[in-house]
Amino acid sequence: MRSRFRTVSILALLLCANGSAASISEISVSRSKGELVSTADFVVNAPREEVVRAFSSFDSLAELNPAIVESSAETLSHGQFRVTTRVKDCVLMFCKAVTLVERVRIDTDGNMRSEIQADGSDFKYGSASWTFEARGSQTFVSYRSAMRPDFWMPPLLGKQAMQGALERQIRASIEKLERDRKVLASRGR
């Protein structure tokens, strides 16, 4: 569920392929007192600079994550952006379209941090971070978020179902990154 509300997140993130050579180390989603807390650690079979570029291409996040309907970015200052993402996804029978507005900062090392902007967003508050660690020709990605939705969520929406949705989106994003890399390599780029 977090994945569909994140976009994050965003993450956001984060994803649904069979045969992806990448691995997901950990996915966790919890809900406490109305707040969604999510973590995801995974490896992408692509160099760090390519992964960072894909995650920071805010105007084209929909190409990376199937739950993202559209995204746009406004440059605020060097390394800071206002990113608006529209996400639609389903967890079990609960489907929801939401808007997430974040102030995203890209650090000099390429890692990213964001704060949710309540104005224009379907979230009251929240924050997220993405770190990217080079591991040879692969990249280890770590995503962390905590956010409070400003909409009703079914109380019985299970942790397993929310984690499954996040994993599905992460796998689809990984597959997209790796497939694009293979296509570019076959073209000699």
pLDDT, one tens digit per residue, over 44-95 is 999 999 999 999 999 999 998 888 999 999 999 888 999 999 999 887 788 8
Mean pLDDT of the chain: 82
How distant, in Å, are the alpha carbons of 3, 72, 81, 104 from that of 77? 28, 16, 7, 11
Q: Is 187 strand, coil or helix?
A: coil
For residue range 133-183, list pLDDT tens digits in order.
999 999 999 999 999 999 887 776 666 777 787 788 888 888 888 887 766
Which residue from 145, 178, 144 is spatially nearest to 41, judged by alpha carbons? 144
First to last CA, the chain: 37
pLDDT of 18 higher than 60: no
What is the spatial distance between Cα 146 and Cα 102, in angstroms, rounded to a whole number? 13
Residue 22: pLDDT over 80: no
Contacts of 111 (CB under 8 A, 6+ apart): 129, 130, 131, 132
Q: In the structure encoding, which two tokens stand for residue 132, read together?
A: 């990217």
Q: What is the pTM of this model?
A: 0.80
Cβ within 8 Å of residue 55, ≥6 positions away: 11, 13, 64, 112, 130, 132, 141
pLDDT of 1 reads 38
Rounded to whole angstroms, how far apart are CA atoms 127 and 145?
A: 6
